[in-house]
Structures are given as C-alpha cells and as structure tokens.
C-alpha cells in the first residue's frame, strides 16, 4: 500500500511538472557583469525580464540590447517576420537550470548571448519551419564582442553551446494581434510558451519580439 501511494505521488508530481504554466515579470537588475564581456554588457538594457515556471521557480532571465540595428526599408513576408540583421546581438539570457531549445537539444544552466539568425534556404531545412527567424544561443564566455557575426562563426559557436552538430535556437514567432510587451502566451496546439518583449530600434521606434521560450518543434 505504501509503495503504491509513493508511486501515485511520483506520477502526480511528474504530471504537474509537465503541465506547469509560465509567466514573465520585470527584473530590476542588470546582467551578471562577471559572466558577460564588457563589450556586450555595454549594449544591454539595465533591467530585464524574468520567466517563472509554476508558482515561483525561476526558469530564465533575459536582458535585451538597449537598441537594435534594423534593415532599411524592410517589409515582412510570410517567411521573414523581423527587420534584424543576421548575426547581430539581440540580448543575453541566463538559464537558472538545465533546459532545452526549440529542437529539444539540452541547454545547460548558465549565461548565453542571443543573436538573430535566419534559417538557411537549402535542402536540409525544407519543411522544418514556416518562418526563418530564430534566436541562436552562444555561450557568453566565448562570445565576447558585440559586433555582427557571420553565419559560419555564428552556427559554429551556437552548435558548441548545444554540444551537438546543430545550433542551439529559439523560434521567433509572428506577433499576435493582442500581444503586449512583457507578456506570455500559450500555443496549446504545440504546447509552446511564447514570451513577448519590447525593445527599441536605433531610430527610437519600439519593437515587439516574440519567441518560444519553452517548447519544441512539431514532429
């Protein structure tokens, strides 16, 4: 009887963990100066956002850049949603515990830079995503310059962060009609938790970005 009761409690705990909700709230602290290079730290906003799992468990902390460069005369398409320059720094994320990326690759706890990338148009990526906008994760201790990275170096460093042959990535999403800054929404069809954060372009305009902070690509 005791053994059955213990098993039931374990199953309940696992089910609750799998079904935990996520939310986001303001974070009134700066990125960790001892884990981010001075060059990159200088580009970051002084405050960030904290993603919380369940009632009080910190999942990750995110700091966006103070401003982002954007492509001139950019017009979004069905495949490309955001006006950013491939390889540019978007911000920094600190995972409080081991997590996973959009491809379900393990992401160890620690600090990573976030850089914008576009999925290559080649035979290896046909049908893997409806859109090409992604954020790639690089280990903060190996990504020391805020300069734009070319794709080969970006992909190499991001794959090293994932400990695999494929970059570690988070899928950027189309902005929902009712989206707001500092928000979280749940795509129940895919079990994606999508965080919405607001940054600024160099021309001063506000830009809302949304990306899957927890959840994996559909099979």
Is position 32 within any domain?
yes
Q: What are the residue ranges of helices labelled H in the chain?
A: 2-18, 38-41, 151-162
- Count of alpha carbons within 13 Å of 41, Cβ hemisphere only? 12
Q: Which helix (H) or strand (E) holds 44?
A: none
- pLDDT single digits (tens) 206-215: 999 999 999 9
Is position 219 within any domain?
no
Are the CB atoms for 216 and 189 separated by under 8 Å?
Answer: no
- pLDDT single digits (tens) 163-182: 999 999 999 999 998 999 99
| Low-confidence residues in the chain, pLDDT < 70 | 1-19, 121-129, 219
Closest CA to 119 of 103, 141, 138: 103
Going across the sheet that includes 206-214, the strands are 183-187, 192-200, 206-214
Is position 165 within any domain?
yes
Domains of the chain: total = 1
Are the CB atoms for 93 and 110 separated by under 8 Å?
Answer: no
Is position 59 within any domain?
yes
Q: 69 φ, ψ to 5°?
A: -75, 150
What pTM does this model have? 0.88
Is position 19 within any domain?
yes
pLDDT of residue 9: 36
pLDDT of residue 219: 63
List the domain range (segments joined by +) for residue 170. 2-214
């Amino acid at each position: 009887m005791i053994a059955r009761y213990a098993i039931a409690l374990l199953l309940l705990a696992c089910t609750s963990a799998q079904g935990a909700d996520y939310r986001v709230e303001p974070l009134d602290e700066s990125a960790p100066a001892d884990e981010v290079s001075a060059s990159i730290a200088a580009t970051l906003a002084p405050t960030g956002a904290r993603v919380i799992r369940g009632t009080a468990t910190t999942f990750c902390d995110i700091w966006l850049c103070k401003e982002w460069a954007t492509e001139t005369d950019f017009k979004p398409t069905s495949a490309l949603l955001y006006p950013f320059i491939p390889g540019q720094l978007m911000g920094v994320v600190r995972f409080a515990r081991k997590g996973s990326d959009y491809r379900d690759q393990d992401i160890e706890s620690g600090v990573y830079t976030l850089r914008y990338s576009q999925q290559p148009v080649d035979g290896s990526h046909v049908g893997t995503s409806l859109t090409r906008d992604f954020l790639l994760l690089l280990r903060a201790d190996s990504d020391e310059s805020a300069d734009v990275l070319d794709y080969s170096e970006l992909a190499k460093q991001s794959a090293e962060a994932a400990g695999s042959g494929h970059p570690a990535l988070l899928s950027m999403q189309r902005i929902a009609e009712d989206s707001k800054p500092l928000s979280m929404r749940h795509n129940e069809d895919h079990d994606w938790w999508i965080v919405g954060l607001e940054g600024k372009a160099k021309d001063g305009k506000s830009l809302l970005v949304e990306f899957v902070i927890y959840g994996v690509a559909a099979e």
